[in-house]
Every structure is written in C-alpha cells, then in structure tokens.
Amino acid sequence: MTGVLFDFSGTLFRIESTESWLRAVLAETGHTLPEPELLDAARALEEAGALAGGADPVELPEELAEVWAVRDESAELHRAAYTGLSRRVTLPDPGLHDALYARHMTPAAWAPYPDAAEVLRSLRERGIRVGVVSNVGWDLRPVFRAHGLDPYVDAYVLSYEHGVQKPDPRLFSVACAALGADPREVLMVGDSREADGGAATLGCRVHFVDHLPVTDRPGALLPVLDLVG
C-alpha cells in the first residue's frame, strides 16, 4: 500500500455526546435549564438526529428528506438539514439552534480516538501518504490542527468542497489523485459500509471500524498498520 484514506467522524474522531453539546452551548450563551428539562431536551435532540456526527434521526421528517439525502454536498445544505432537525425540539431561545450548529464545528466538540495519533504518525514514518475523505458540510482542518494531527495528513477531500458525497467513487478518485496513488494501492478506513465501501469500486481495499465512544474503542485503528504491510 502506498496510501491510506481515513474517514473523519467515527473513524479518527468522535463528536461529543448530545448532552455535553447542549450543556456547552447553554453555558456559552448564558442560558440555564432545570436539570430534568436539560436532560429531556438532550434526549429529544438526539432522537431528532440534530447533532452532526451523532445518531441519525429516529424519524426523518418528510419535509427534510430531500435535503437530508444530499446534506453533505454543500455547506448550505448541511446547515439546513441539521438546524432543521434541531428546530423540531423546543429550546428556551430560538437562537440556540444556530449556536448548537456552530458548536459542533469547533475543535472542542471533537475528541480523537486514543490510537489515532500513533497510527497516523507511524504511517508518516513509513512514507505512506495519508488522506482524509469525509462527508461533511464544513472545514474540519482546524479540528486536526487543534488536536495535533494535521502534520500527518497529506490531503483533505471534503464532500462539500467538491459537491459530491460518498459512496460516489468520484470523491475517492479525487482523494487518490491528491495522494498521487493508484487506487489499487490504497486502503480506505471508515465506519460506514455504505459510504466508505464506495472506495472498493475503484479497487481500493477497505477496512471498517465501529463507530463507538472514544472510551470504548482504544485500539481499533492499530490493525491498519499491519494491513499496509
């Protein structure tokens, strides 16, 4: 293998819990909620699927189905999808929905998996080029910089910057080209068999990890080092 492509959310990083997300925004904006109401609101937001990188909606509203299907193709669609879901939950101030969306794009909202730095550093030491291929509606590069992982990434290929989202093979093709690598010599690592599995269309080898909380997945990325040889 001459290159490895990684998904972002659920693969290298994990978003904070919905409760932590809501608590942080309430604190940042000076709002308070009684504890039972806060917990109820957090549960409702999670069921709504309002946190990007978190759980999918339990029930997708018909009026949001079209934008949801293509949400990662532009920043505008991504915002519309997630703030639309968030607004299905009543909060003490309508402005909190935009604040919640803004919060999820900050480095503080994300934590790298425990083995991410070790694996990326080892790949760099072996001379294997690394790309990040993500279905996302915002620039995640600051997250990598803030957590010290940016020096190990050679290319970022983000769906909203190309107007196409995984599993469309065109996004993986752009990523392989950015690494200067033949797709048949590239390993794609991700947590979604549907989205990340699209890389196999080009001849990439694909390896899947489970989208688990950071504390529950201490070493799932380490096998990547054996797979690249």
**How much is the pLDDT for 65?**
98
Going by C-beta distance under 8 Å and a sequence separation of 6 or more, which residues neighbour residue 102?
Answer: none
Is residue 8 domain-shared with residue 22, that is, in the same domain?
no
Mean pLDDT (the chain) is 98
Closest CA to 150 of 161, 159, 139: 139
* Same domain, residue pair 130 and 196: yes
pLDDT tens per residue, range 94-125: 999 999 999 999 999 999 999 999 999 999 99
Q: Are residues 121 and 8 in the same domain?
A: yes
How many helices, marked H, and strands, marked E, lie in the chain?
10, 7
Of the residues 108, 127, 148, the one at which a domain ends: 108
Residues 101 and 116 in one domain: no
Q: Are residues 166 and 124 in the same domain?
A: yes
pLDDT tens digits, one per residue of 46-67: 999 999 999 999 999 999 999 9
Tokens linked to 84: 């639309």
Same-domain status, 8 and 121 = yes
Q: Examine the domain organization and report whether 159 and 223 are in the same domain.
A: yes
Q: Which of residues 108, 143, 175 is at a domain's end?
A: 108
Token duo for residue 152: 């190990």
Choose one of 91, 108, 125: the last residue of a domain: 108
| Structure-block tokens of residue 49 | 């699927």
Q: Quote the tokens at residue 59.
A: 């029930």
Q: What is the pLDDT of residues 149-178, one digit of tens each?
A: 999 999 999 999 999 999 999 999 999 999
Q: Are residues 103 and 25 located together in one domain of the fold?
A: yes
Position 229 pLDDT exceeds 90: no
CATH of the domain at 124: 3.40.50.1000
Same domain assignment for residues 59 and 162? no
Residues 98 and 126 in one domain: no
Answer for the pair 199, 5: CB distance below 8 angstroms, yes or no: yes
CA distance 7 to 19: 24
Question: Taking 90 as the threshold, does the pLDDT of residue 16 lie above it?
Answer: yes
Round to whole Å and give the CA distance between 8 and 171.
14
Tell me which residue range forms the domain holding 95: 15-108
If asked whether residues 184 and 138 sit together in one domain, one would say: yes
Counted domains in the chain: 2
Please answer whether residues 164 and 141 qualify as being in contact, where contact means their C-beta atoms are separated by less than 8 angstroms: no
Same domain, 67 and 25: yes
Contact between 5 and 133 under an 8 Å Cβ cutoff? The reply is yes
